[in-house]
Chains A and B, each alone.
Chain A
Amino acid sequence: MSKRMFLAAIIVILATPVTSMAVAADIQPAIVYDLGGKFDKSFNEGVFDGASAFKKNTGIEYRDFEIQNDSQREQALRNFARRGNDPILAVGFSQAAAVEKVAKEFPTIHFAIIDSMVNQPNVQSIVFKEQEGSFVVGVLASMAAKSGKIGFVGGMDIPLIRRFACGYIQGARYANANVEVFQNMTGTTGAAWSDPVKGGELAKSQFDRGADVVYHAAGGTGIGVLQAAADANKLGIGVDSNQNHLHPGKVLTSMLKRVDVATQQTFMEARAGTWKPGLKVLGLKENGVGWALDENNKALITPTMKAAADKATADIAAGTIQVHDYMADNHCPTK
């Protein structure tokens, strides 16, 4: 071996750890989606969008996994942790028990969970105050309804969805104490998230009873609700992502739940080294929830309505208005 080659070899050997360290400095995020799957047009897809945006902005690849049954939650989290993926984001409240267990097994890895709370030193819990966003769209619905009657169509009948309904009713009553609210849940099983036909029927029956505006918190089922509103020449309200564009002029507004922002944020924090464990509550104040105003619904929102919504938003953010959280005591103060 010539001297020069020997030197080159030494340089290569010395340089190797340096380059691998540079690679290791990049985070390797991973996502475990909930049963709904990556492309559910709502909640999980919001996370996917956030992760895609993160990838686009930073060029950092991420891995993800769609579970098929409950026992795969733990398995998937553990698989990612074992391969050194960090941070690991678990989507949906159903993952709480699995995250708690796996986070204990891998104390050096950072976990995040959306929509639930896990008290571990290496877990960030991201929850949204859906009741606050729902309150504001409730105010708008109440003001837009000339008949004084509004409706709500939920997906699966679980506390989380009752929290949407409860916030909505509080907002509606805040704007008009005499407003009449019709409430329906689509079903009691997971199928209730993807039944647009039944959603449409429920909305239709509410319109027949005189409702002018119907808000849905029903995932894929809501597509039918918004369609029924457009067909009946009434108004619908979208949820989770901005659904104003689905039927321009027929969707009053959308209650935004910014899971995409939350996803991107937690990955960015991990990258920058500012990631912190603990509870992260995203409400109106933190821009975690909100309502959508764009060219599709500009004509529907009068200046008075906008002012009222902005005032409610500001008051909730400031704490002057306390929106009751259904899940705090499984009870809604107003019916």
Chain B
Amino acid sequence: MTPAAARELPRWATAGLLPVLNLTAAFVVSGLVVLVIGEDPLKVVRLLVWGAFGFEEAIGYTLYYATSFIFTGLAVAVAFHCGLFNIGGEGQAYIGGLGVALVCLNLDGLPFWLLAPLAIAGGALFGAAWAYVPAYLQAYRGSHVVITTIMFNFIASATMVYLLVNVMIQPGQMQPESRAFSADARMPFMHQALAGIGIDLAASPLNLSFVWALICCLLFWLFIWHTRAGYALRAVGANPTAAIYAGISPARQTMIAMLISGALAGCLGLNELMGVQHRLLLEFTGGYGFVGIAVALMGRGHPLGIVLAAILFGALYQGGAELSFELPRITRDMVVVIQGLIILFAGALEFMFLPLLTRWLIRV
């Protein structure tokens, strides 16, 4: 995945300097666009940063978005390590949310410490189940996982609409959504949880799912780099032929990677449904499954990188919202343009500055 030139450079240059250069380039180009529509780019950047990190509530929102992106970013990354491109994070998260909601709606009499692990299991199980069919088709029938997972996104969407419109809707309700989760089936907000131990925070949608996201990062790191199973998975990703020679079955690893990927994506529902919306509703995934691809790419498949990239995208979402709120001339579409430029420079043109950087570093 990495060009040969990158391996000659010290790690701080490829993992630190290069992303910073890419980001700067993205911001410079965005600044030019902002200039064209007649706003002051410096003011825009200031508002963006202030909107994302300027006050407690803003940080809460940024981390809340980041939580969702960590789940989907890890999901995409684990498949990457096995050489698979899972574009179905969106659908797996959608169905995973169904699992979370079913637990929250049906078992809400249970105490939270019992309900939370069950909800996690529900989300992970449903997400993994949704990834199972594309994984099987890839592993044993050779249908490309990119195509099948995209198709499964649509099937997931249609299934959820059917369920919400015809089965789970509350009669007499306008909105196709389930009833609200009862109070004990909600993930505590961070400001509530921390108020319990005397730390006072502004109210924001940030909830305890964030902690689970960080635990997932740790488990991910342990699994990929410190277990035999993780090694087998990476071996298939690096060279399937060599893996077969070493006695590793690529088909089996494909199944494992996709199931873990689906399970991680399925956890999105914890943050969005159990954490914030407190009911099952349409399109709660909001494209986060796709943002996960950019997050995983930018984070280079490493949990630390994914957390940082997730926070960056969270900041763009939250800061962007505040920005278009403060400056009506910067519409939400404009914010998408800025996000798109960052994905372009950090993802697609990831190594654009590499030759330049190599030449420069060698000269120094």
B203 to chain A, nearest CB (A): 9
Q: Which among A64-72, A199-207, A208-216, A265-273 touches the partner chain?
A: A64-72
Q: Which among A131-139, A227-235, A326-334 touches the partner chain?
A: A326-334
Q: Does B335 contact A (CB under 8 A)?
A: yes
Total residue contacts A-B, CB cutoff 8 A:
81
**Bound complex: CA of A157 vs CA of B169, how far in Å?**
13
Q: Does B24 contact A (CB under 8 A)?
A: no
**Per-residue CB proximity of A151-176 to B under 8 Å, as 1/0?**
00000111110000000000000000
**Per-residue CB proximity of B346-364 to A under 8 Å, as 1/0?**
0000000000000000000
The chain B residue sitting closest to A66, CB to CB, is: B332
Q: Does A189 contact B (CB under 8 A)?
A: yes
Verify B328–A72 contact, CB threshold 8 A. no
Q: Does B313 contact A (CB under 8 A)?
A: no
Q: Does A117 contact B (CB under 8 A)?
A: yes
Q: Does B325 contact A (CB under 8 A)?
A: yes
**Bound complex: CA of A115 vs CA of B272, how far in Å?**
24
**Bound complex: CA of A200 vs CA of B171, how far in Å?**
32
Across-interface contacts of A115 in B (CB, < 8 A)? 174
Verify B328–A94 contact, CB threshold 8 A. no
**Bound complex: CA of A68 vs CA of B277, how far in Å?**
15
Beta-carbon contacts under 8 Å, A50-93 to B: 63-72, 75-76, 79, 93
**Bound complex: CA of A191 vs CA of B171, how far in Å?**
25
Q: Does B182 contact A (CB under 8 A)?
A: no
Beta-carbon contacts under 8 Å, B281-299 to A: 281-284, 286-287
Beta-carbon contacts under 8 Å, B82-112 to A: none
Number of B interface residues in the complex (CB < 8 A): 37
**Bound complex: CA of A64 vs CA of B324, how far in Å?**
10
**Per-residue CB proximity of B151-174 to A under 8 Å, as 1/0?**
000100110011001000101111
**Bound complex: CA of A188 vs CA of B155, how far in Å?**
10
Q: Does B80 contact A (CB under 8 A)?
A: no
Verify A189–B328 contact, CB threshold 8 A. no
Across-interface contacts of A189 in B (CB, < 8 A)? 154, 157-158, 161, 283
**Bound complex: CA of A295 vs CA of B124, how far in Å?**
60
Verify A188–B157 contact, CB threshold 8 A. yes
**Bound complex: CA of A309 vs CA of B169, how far in Å?**
34
Q: Does B276 contact A (CB under 8 A)?
A: yes
The chain B residue sitting closest to A163, CB to CB, is: B174
Q: Does B64 contact A (CB under 8 A)?
A: yes
Verify A188–B158 contact, CB threshold 8 A. yes
Across-interface contacts of A313 in B (CB, < 8 A)? none
Q: Does A264 contact B (CB under 8 A)?
A: no
Q: With A65-B324, A65-B325, A188-B158 given, is the CB distance from A71 to B175 under 8 Å?
A: no
**Bound complex: CA of A65 vs CA of B161, how far in Å?**
27
Across-interface contacts of A72 in B (CB, < 8 A)? 321
The chain A residue sitting closest to B275, CB to CB, is: A71
Verify A159–B169 contact, CB threshold 8 A. yes
Q: Does A99 contact B (CB under 8 A)?
A: no
Verify A188–B162 contact, CB threshold 8 A. yes
Across-interface contacts of B321 in A (CB, < 8 A)? 68, 72, 75-76
Q: Does B205 contact A (CB under 8 A)?
A: yes
Q: Does B269 contact A (CB under 8 A)?
A: no
Give 5 pairs: A residue, B residue, CB < 8 Å, sorted on A.
A68-B317, A69-B286, A159-B176, A190-B282, A329-B172
Given contacts A68-B321, A189-B154, 13 further A-B contacts (CB under 8 A): A64-B328, A65-B325, A67-B332, A68-B335, A69-B286, A70-B272, A70-B284, A79-B322, A157-B165, A188-B157, A188-B165, A327-B174, A329-B172
- Top 10 nearest A-B pairs (CB, nearest first) are A188-B161, A69-B286, A93-B174, A188-B158, A189-B157, A66-B332, A116-B174, A68-B332, A158-B176, A93-B175
